[in-house]
Structure 1
Amino acid sequence: MENTNGKLKRELGLFSAITIVIGMVIGSGIFFKPAIVFKNAGSPFMGIMAWVIGGLITVASGLTIAEIAVAIPKTGGVFVYLKELYGEKWAFLFGWVQTVVYVPGSVAAQAIVLSTQITSFVDLTPVQQKLVAIFFLIFIAVMNVISTKLGGKIQVAATIAKLLPIIIIITLGFARGTAKGLVFNIPGGAASAGLGAAILGTLWAYDGWVSVGNMAGELKNPKKDLPKSIILGLFLVIVVYALVNVALIKIMPVEAIIASSKPASDASVVLFGSLGAKFISAGIAISIFGALNGYMMTGVRIPFAMAQERQLPFSNFLGKVNKKFETPLNSFILVVILASVYVLSGSFNTLTDLVMFILWIFFTMAVAGIFILRTKFKHIKTSYHVPLYPIVPIIGIVGSIYIIVSTLIANMSYAIFGTIITLLGFPVYYYLKKKNN
C-alpha cells in the first residue's frame, strides 16, 4: 500500500536537524585525522589553526547553502538546488552519481568500518564482518522506514552518545594533561604549504553537513530550522574539533600524536589505562553508527527525489511513499541492495574515491548558485540572507576549488574515471527524457 499523495511527513524539529549535521560530520575523522593534520601543519599551533580555518571555510559554504535551502525548501538537497538553479541535466548527473555510487558506497563504507570496530570486542572473521555490516545496513534502514521520527531519535541518541567520550577527553585532557609548551610553540620549519595540506585534511573531516538539506521536505519549519541547524551544527563541530586537538596535545607530545595511527585511543590509554582504549573504541563505534544512520537517512532522499521527478529507471516504484509508514520504503530497498553488493565486493572504497572529485565540482556549483539565486530568482523572498555577501560565498567557493585542484593533482586517475562514471549518466538521461515525452 502506498501513499497516493507522494508526500513525506513533516516531523523533524530543529534539534533533530542539528544532530543530523553533527552526526554526519563527526564520524571517525576526529579520532584518526589529528596525526596527519599535525604532521602536515609542521607545528601544534598551525595544526590547531588548520582545524579552525577548515571549519571556517565549511561555515562559509554552510552560510551560503542555507540561503539557497531556505529559498528552495524541498526534499532532495543539492539535487533540487542544482535543478532549480542550473537546469535538469546538471541535477540529473549529480543525482546519478549519488544514487548509483556515492550514497550506497558511503553507507557501505561506514557499515564496514563499524563492523571492523566491533572486532575490538568480538572476534570476527572477514566474512562475518561483512555479514555484520549488512546486518547494520538492514537494521538502520528498517528503523528509518518504520518512522522518520524514529530515525531522527536514533540520530539524536547516537550524537549525544558520541559526544560523551569526546567531552571526557577534552575535560580530562585540560585538567590532567601534563604535556607543556606545545600548543603555541611554532618551530621555525613550519611552512605555508604544509598548512595548506593540513587544511585539506580537515575539510574532509568536516564533510557531510550539506545532507541535512535532503530532509527539507520533512522538517516542521524548514525556512527557519535549515539555516539554524547548518550554522549552529557547524560552529559546534568547529569548537569540538579544536578542543579535542588541544586536549590531545596536552595529553601527549605532538611527536607521539604524529606517530600514532589512533591518537584518540592512545590518549585514552594515558588517561585511563588499558581500559581506556576499550572505552574510546566504544565511542568510535557509536560515532560511526550515528554517521551511518545519518548517511542512510539523508542519502535515500536522493533517489526518492529523482524518482518523483521521473528521472530514474523504475521511477514509479522508487518514487512511492509507503502508505503504512509514510516513508520512502522502496528507495531504502534500493540503497540497501546496492550497499550490500559493495560490502560483499569490497570495492566500495575505490568507488567512492572515484566520484569524490566530481561530487566536489557539483558542490562548488551549489555554493556558487547563490549568485544565480540573487540575480535570476529575485522574486523569491527569503527570511534568511547570507551575511557579508559576496565575501562569504567566495570564501566557500575558493575552499571547494582548493579541494578539487588538490584531488586532481593527487589522484589524476580517480578524477578521470570519476568523470567517465558521471558521463555514463548522459545516455540514461536522454533515454528517460525520450521515454517520458
Structure 2
Amino acid sequence: MNSTKENSGFKKELGLFDATMIVIGSMIGSGIFIVSADIARTVGSSGYLLLVWVITGIITLVGALSYGELASMMPYAGGQYVYLKESYSSFVAFLYGWTMFLVIQTGTIAAVAVAFAKYTAVLIPWFSGNNILLNLVGLKISSGQILAIVSVLLLTYINVNGVKEGKLVQNIFSVAKTIALIGLILLGLIIGSNVNVIQQNFSNMWNATTVHLKNGVIDFIEPLTGFAIIAAIGMAMVGSLFSSVAWENITFIAAEVKEPKKVIPWSLFLGTLIVTILYVLANVSYLFVLPLKGDPTAKDIAGMGIQFAAEDRVGTAAAHFIFGDVAVIIMAILIMISTFGCNNGLILAGARIFYAMSKDKLFFKFAGELNNKSVPAKALWFQALWTSLLCLSGSYGQLLDYVVATVLIFYILTIIGIFILRKKRPDAERPYKVFAYPFLPMIYIILAAVVTIILLIYKPNYTWPGLIIVALGIPVYLIWGKKLNN
C-alpha cells in the first residue's frame, strides 16, 4: 500500500445509520418509477418482470456482501479504486477511475440532475427542457439544463463545507424518500389494488413475450421460449441494474466512517437489502394496480398498462389510480426528493475516488488536497464542472447506456480480487469475511458475467462503445505514467 492509506486528514463523522442512508440514498433515484415499463415490454409477463427485479436484487446483495470483506480489509478513501489497485495494478485501477470520472459517476450525476429538473418542470413549467434560453453554435441550452447544473453546484457547495453537512442532507432526503416509497407501495397494495387487474396479471405469470414496435405502434408480439427467455431477462436487466447501482459509493468515503471495518460491511448489507425489498414490493404494487400488457395508442392509463405508461412513468400511472389527477404532482415531488437525495450521495462519495487517484499521482495534484473542512473541495468542484458540461451536452444518457456492461465488468473484477487477495495477502487482517466463501462471490461472478455476455451479444451498439471509452484510458495512463517517471 502507499499514499492511499494516508487518510489522517479526514474527519470520521459517519456512523452506521449515516452510512446505510448513503447506500439507500445513492441507490434510489428515479429508476424504480420508470424502468419497469421497458422491462415489461421486453419480458411480457408479471412473473418474469418480478424475476428480473429479484435476480437484480440477488446480484446486488451478493455483490455488497462480497465488497464487505474488501471494505473491512482496506477502509481507505477511494474504496473500489483501492481494491482494484491492490488486487491487480495501478493500471487497472486507473482505467476504473478514468471511466468513473469520464462517464459513470459524473454521467449518473448529470442524468439524475436532469431528472430532478424534468420533474420540477411538472410543478414549475418554466423549467421545461423545451424552454430554450440560448442557442450557442448549435448547442441548445434549456432552463431545465440550467436548473440541473444549479442543483449539482448547490449540492457540491454543501459538501465542500464538510462531511457533517453532507450527511445531514443525505439523512433527511434518504429517510423522506424511503418513507414516501413505502407509503406508495402500501397504498397500491391496499387501496389501489384491483381484483380484475390482479387476476389478469397473475393468471399467466410465465407466458413470456417481447413487444416489437414500429412507428410508435405494436408491429408484432414475439413469444419467447428456451434461451430466448434468458436473453430477454439479461437485456431487461439493463434498467433494473442501473436502478440498483451506486451501493459501493459508501466504500469511497471509508476514511470518514467511524469503525469502518465493522460499519461499512453492515451498511452495505442493510442498505442493499432494504432497497431490494422495496424495489420488488414496488413492482408487486404496480401489478396490483395496473394491467401489465397495454397498447401505446390507448387513450387511458389502464389501456396503456405498465408496458406503455406515458413516458414510461409507471409510478405516476399507478399513483393516478390511488390519488386521481393530483398524482402527477405527488409523484413529481416524490421524484424530486428522491433524485436530489440520490445526487447528494453520488457527489459526496465520487470525489474521494479522484482524491485517491491524485494521491497515487494518477490524477491532477489539486484533487488530492483537503480544505479546512477536511474534504477534497477541489476534487468536488472539478467533478461538478465536468458534470455540468455533460448536462449541457445532453450526451450523458447515451454515455450511460454505453457503460452498462463496463460497470458490471469492474464489479466482476473487484470481486475476483477477493480470491486474488486471499492468495496474495493470506495473513492480512479481515475483520469481516464474505459469507459462504467461495460460493457467494462465485455466484455473483457467474450471474454478472452471464448478463454482461448477453448485453455484449444482443445490445452491441450499447455495450461495445463502453469498452472503447475504457480503452481510451490506456494512452492517458501511459502519458501520465511517463510524466510520473520523468
TM-score normalised per structure 2: 0.84
Q: Which residue identity is paired with 2:100?
A: Q
Q: RMSD of the alignment, in Å?
A: 2.0
Secondary structure (helix, strand or coil) at the match of 1:259 reads coil
Within the candidate set 301, 307, 322, 1:271 is matched to 322
Which shifted more, 168-177 or 184-193? 184-193
Aligned residue for 2:91?
Answer: 89
The structure with the greater share of residues assigned to helix is: 1
Aligned to 1:160: 175
Q: Is the 2:48–2:206 contact (alpha carbons within 8 Å) kept by the matching residues of 1?
A: no
- In structure 2, what is the equivalent of residue 61 of structure 1? 63
Residues 112/199 of structure 1: CA separation in 2 closer, same or farther (3 Å cut) = closer
Report the equivalent of 1:404.
452
Equivalent of 1:318, from 367, 371, 390? 367
Identify unmatched segments of 5+ residues in structure 2.
Answer: 1-5, 133-141, 209-224, 294-304
TM-score of the superposed pair, with normalisation by structure 1? 0.93
Contact 2:13 2:163 in 1 (8 A): yes
Matching residue's letter, 2:320:
V
Q: Indicate the residue corresponding to 1:380 in structure 2.
A: 428
CA distance in 1, matches of 2:258, 2:157: 23
Amino acid at match of 2:122: S
Q: Greater shift after overlay, 357-366 or 73-82?
A: 357-366
Query: 1:430 corresponds to which residue?
Result: 478
2:357 is aligned to: 306
Aligned to 1:117: 119
Q: Deviations over 1:315-370 (max 9, x none)?
A: 1x1110002x1111000111111111111122222333333333322221001111
5 Å-filtered alignment, 1:159-308, equals 159-176=174-191, 177-179=193-195, 180-182=198-200, 184-187=202-205, 189-190=207-208, 191=225, 192-193=229-230, 194-255=232-293, 256-260=305-309, 261-308=312-359
Equivalent-residue separation in structure 2 for 1:220 and 1:293 (angstroms): 20
Tell me how far 1:432 sits from its aligned partner: 2.7
Q: Distance in 2 between matches of 1:363 and 1:240?
A: 23
* 2:408 aligned with 1:360: yes
In 1, Cα distance between equivalents of 2:8 and 2:64: 29
Equivalent residue number for residue 72 of structure 2: 70
Return the alpha-carbon distance in structure 2 between the equivalents of residues 42 and 81 of structure 1. Answer: 39
Of 132-141 and 355-364, the range deviating more from structure 2: 355-364
Tell me, what secondary structure is at the counterpart of 1:7? coil
Q: Which residue of 2 aligns with 1:342?
A: 390
- Tell me, what secondary structure is at the counterpart of 1:66? helix
CA separation of 1:10 and 1:30: change in aligned 2, threshold 3 A = same
Deviation at 1:187, TM superposition (A): 4.6
Cα shift at 1:30: 0.8
CA distance, structure 2, for counterparts of residue 185 and residue 373 of structure 1: 49
1:133 Cα deviation (Å)?
1.0
After superposition, give the CA deviation of every residue in 1:17-36 in whole Å (9 maximum; x if it has no partner).
11111111111111012222
Q: Which moved more, 1:390-399 or 1:102-111?
A: 102-111
Which stretch of the first structure deviates more once superposed, 154-163 or 193-202? 193-202
Residue of structure 2 in register with 1:393 after alignment: 441
> Would the aligned equivalents of 1:40 and 1:198 in 2 still touch at CA under 8 Å?
yes
Distance in 1 of aligned mates of 2:103 and 2:36: 28
1: CA distance, partners of 2:7 / 2:287: 55
Runs of 4 or more consecutive aligned structure 1 residues displaced over 6 Å after TM superposition: none
Deviations 1:359-407 (A, max 9, x none): 3222210011111121111111212111111111111112221332233
SS at match of 2:125: coil
**Percent identity of paired positions between Structure 1 and Structure 2:** 33
> Post-superposition shift, 1:188?
5.9
User: What is the aligned length?
Assistant: 431
Moved more, 93-102 or 406-415: 406-415
Q: Deviations over 1:243-290 (max 9, x none)?
A: 111112212222322221212111111111111221111101111111
Q: For 1:304, give the aligned amino acid.
A: Y
Partner of 2:148: 133
Q: Deviation per CA, 1:76-97, whole angstroms, max 9, x where unpaired?
A: 0111100011011111111112
**What CA distance in whole angstroms lies between the structure 1 residues aligned with 2:479 and 2:234?**
43
Q: Which residue of 1 aligns with 2:215?
A: none
- Kindly provide the amino acid, as one letter, of the partner of residue 129 in structure 1: G
Contact 2:42-2:236 within 8 A present in 1 as well:
yes
Distance 1:196 1:333, change over 3 A: closer
| 2:253 aligned counterpart, secondary structure | helix
Q: Distance in 2 between matches of 1:350 and 1:269?
A: 30
CA distance in structure 2 between the aligned counterparts of 1:354 and 1:178, rounded to whole angstroms: 39
Q: Distance in 1 between matches of 2:51 and 2:456?
A: 25
Query: Which amino acid is the alignment partner of residue 203 of structure 1?
Result: L
| Distance (whole Å) between structure 2 residues aligned to residue 167 and residue 416 of structure 1 | 38
Contact 1:6–1:321 at 8 Å: present in 2 too? Answer: no
8 A contact 2:46–2:205 mirrored in 1: no
The answer on whether the counterparts of 1:182 and 1:249 sit within 8 Å (CA) in structure 2 is no
